[in-house]
A = this chain, B = another copy of it.
Amino acid sequence: MRLSDAIEEFIKTMMEQEEAEIELKRNDLAQYFGCAPSQINYVLSTRFTPDHGYVTESRRGGGGCIRIIRIERESGEFLQFLLEERIGDAISPRAAQILCSKLAEQGAISQRTAQVMCAAMAPESFSVPIPEALKDRLRAKMLRNMLTTVARHRATSGEG
């Protein structure tokens, strides 16, 4: 298993046991895993971003530490946030995938629907000769359109 995955899992386990907020010492954690301290930053920046549903804070100097906070958001609220603020007019395949996973995790859409959405937005679906920037714009429009559909039917029918 990748080191990064192990560290991610370790942190998530800590957060389950304790609360939606933990503090840790970067150097201690690095020593525990026998890796460079900056590895911890890598894990945080690739797996504990706002898109993943987390925010982090830190303080340097003696007694300094890193705080990781899980954002508790209702799925409707999250959907609204995505449509109004997050998506914008361009999005990468990776970011789109992370957001879909999050929606599924929250129960806003089924695992299945998330996978279908990711498939639609995956790079392989875009193997035609147009600039990458245009692909990101197309993806944003598609995602927006799909999520609007989800939101519309969310009110009336149950989950999905």
Contacts and interface: CB of A to CB of B under 8 A. Distances in A.
A142 B128 CA distance: 11
B116 A150 contact: yes
17 contacts: A110-B113, A110-B157, A112-B157, A112-B160, A116-B117, A116-B146, A117-B120, A119-B142, A119-B145, A120-B121, A120-B146, A124-B141, A124-B145, A125-B142, A125-B145, A128-B141, A130-B134
A122 B110 contact: no
Residue from A118, A137, A142 whose CB has the most chain B CB atoms within 10 Å: A142
State how many copies of this chain the complex holds. 2
A45 interface: no
Interface in A96-134: 109-113, 115-122, 124-130, 134
A13 interface: no
A137 B113 CA distance: 23
A149 interface: yes
Nearest to A139: B125
A25 interface: no
Interface string A136-155: 01100110011011100100
B126 A2 contact: no
Contacts of A137: 128
Given A124-B141, A126-B141, A149 B113 contact: no
A134 to B, nearest CB: 6
